[in-house]
Amino acid sequence: MKEILVSLKNSPYSIFLNAPLQRLGGFMRKVGFRRGISPTKALIVTHPFLKGRYGTILQKSLSSAEIQTSFALVPPGEKHKNLKTVQTLYERCLESKLDRSSCILTFGGGVIGDTAGFVAATYLRGISLIHVPTTLLAMVDSSIGGKVGVDLPGSKNSVGSFYQPKLVWTDPQTLETLPDREFRNGLAEIIKYGVIKDAHLFQILEKCVPNIKSQLNAVIAICAQIKARVVTQDEKETHGVREILNFGHTIGHAIETATGYSDYKHGEAIAMGMCAAGEIACDLNLWKRSDQSRLKNIILRSGLPIRLRKTIPSRKLLSLLYRDKKSVSGQIRFVLPTRIGHVQLRTISASSALKGIRSIQP
């Protein structure tokens, strides 16, 4: 097992990588109390398939630590990351008689982590949260850093909070059942880390994608380390540091919202968002055409899209950019690449944004 510390002043916690599900209960019993992880009850929030495949292992592991478990099941898909699911989960918390010594354990990808994380942040004004990510995307990104929340019909991730987990427990064995399209989805966030922070990671990807499996544990560790470091420097996105993690997300989120959270996976939308941001940066002479080609190539080789399948009116996407959380006083703020491993935060004009959007139309 490898441990990465997210050394936040008020809420430090560890990410354990290569951490078998079977050992989670034992870990909580042995060192949990010292680390503030000693729940008497856990509500495991997951999808039906994951409960069927891994539920017994997880339940056994927690019972060995004398933690009572119950399950709350959420149907899969981004369209369930909403306030209706939050309401249903609050009701499960009540039925399971969770109190302030209980925890919510999320077992799934970013949708489960974000939604049930928001429930943990708000139920009884906050109970302990443990993330056990089961998608590549959640292992490298969404389980780390404490962003929890849900979508509104017209705006992605618009209701939420910062609420750090007590522990992140990552077992890469669970990826064995992850469908290929979901695996590729996770590659988009890994490419993002290469562009924003780590030219060496980008080169590793250029060498091995799509056959990344032999390097997977190393790559997950690099990404988790980058995210832990960025979040430690700027937990609540107030110092202009954490925003770099949103590279590709401004247009990506607009695509997800415009298509009703159902046509594209998050990583697919982010892949197109990164291409569009690169195009804007080229147009502003911040980013070389040759780097834009490298970015598009690695996206394509990862089996991710560089263009929309169906046109979404450019003006519609533009209007959604103004709802982005980075947008301030009606100005569009963008994370733009300047060289592989480095990005800048910039305010851009609507006509620049439109050029980016048009570059990803079919």
Segments in the chain forming alpha helices (H): 24-31, 48-63, 83-95, 110-122, 136-137, 180-197, 199-208, 216-233, 249-258, 266-283, 289-301, 314-321, 350-359
Number of residues that bind ligand GLY (CB under 6 A): 6
189: annotated active-site residue: yes
80: annotated active-site residue: no
Count of CA atoms in the C-beta half-sphere (13 A) of 268: 19
Instruction: Tell me: does residue 47 bind ligand NAD (CB under 6 A).
Output: yes
Answer with the entry of ligand GLY, ligand NAD, none that 246 interacts with (C-beta below 5 to 8 A by kind): ligand GLY
Tokens 């799509």 correspond to 210
Instruction: Tell me: does residue 81 bind ligand NAD (CB under 6 A).
Output: yes
What is the maximum alpha-carbon separation in the chain? Answer: 60
131: annotated active-site residue: no
9: annotated active-site residue: no
Instruction: Select the residue interacting with ligand GLY from 47, 80, 147, 355 (CB under 6 A).
Output: 147
Instruction: Select the residue interacting with ligand NAD from 142, 164, 170, 359 (CB under 6 A).
Output: 142
Instruction: Tell me: does residue 171 bind ligand NAD (CB under 6 A).
Output: no
Instruction: Tell me: does residue 110 bind ligand NAD (CB under 6 A).
Output: yes
82: annotated active-site residue: no
Beta-bridge partners for 45: 72, 106
Which residue is catalytic, options 189, 243, 256, 268? 189
253: annotated active-site residue: yes
23-29 LR contacts (CB < 8 Å, sep 24+): 23/61, 24/58, 24/61, 24/62, 24/132, 24/169, 25/60, 25/61, 25/62, 25/63, 25/64, 25/65, 25/67, 26/61, 26/64, 26/65, 27/169, 28/62, 28/65, 28/67, 29/64, 29/65, 29/66
Instruction: Tell me: does residue 137 bind ligand NAD (CB under 6 A).
Output: yes
Beta-bridge partners for 68: 41
Residues 238-267 that bind ligand NAD (CB under 6 A): 266
206: annotated active-site residue: no
246: annotated active-site residue: yes
Instruction: Tell me: does residue 197 bind ligand GLY (CB under 6 A).
Output: no
Cis amide linkage into residue 48, ω under 30° from 0: no
Which residue is catalytic, options 92, 192, 266, 294? 266
The Cα–Cα gap between 335 and 251 comes to 11
Nearer to ligand GLY, 93 or 140 (CB): 140
Instruction: Tell me: does residue 108 bind ligand NAD (CB under 6 A).
Output: yes
2: annotated active-site residue: no
Report which residue's Cβ sits closest to ligand GLY.
245
Instruction: Select the residue interacting with ligand NAD from 28, 104, 111, 195 (CB under 6 A).
Output: 111
Which residue is catalytic, options 41, 47, 184, 253? 253
Give the active site residues.
125, 147, 189, 227, 237, 242, 246, 249, 253, 266
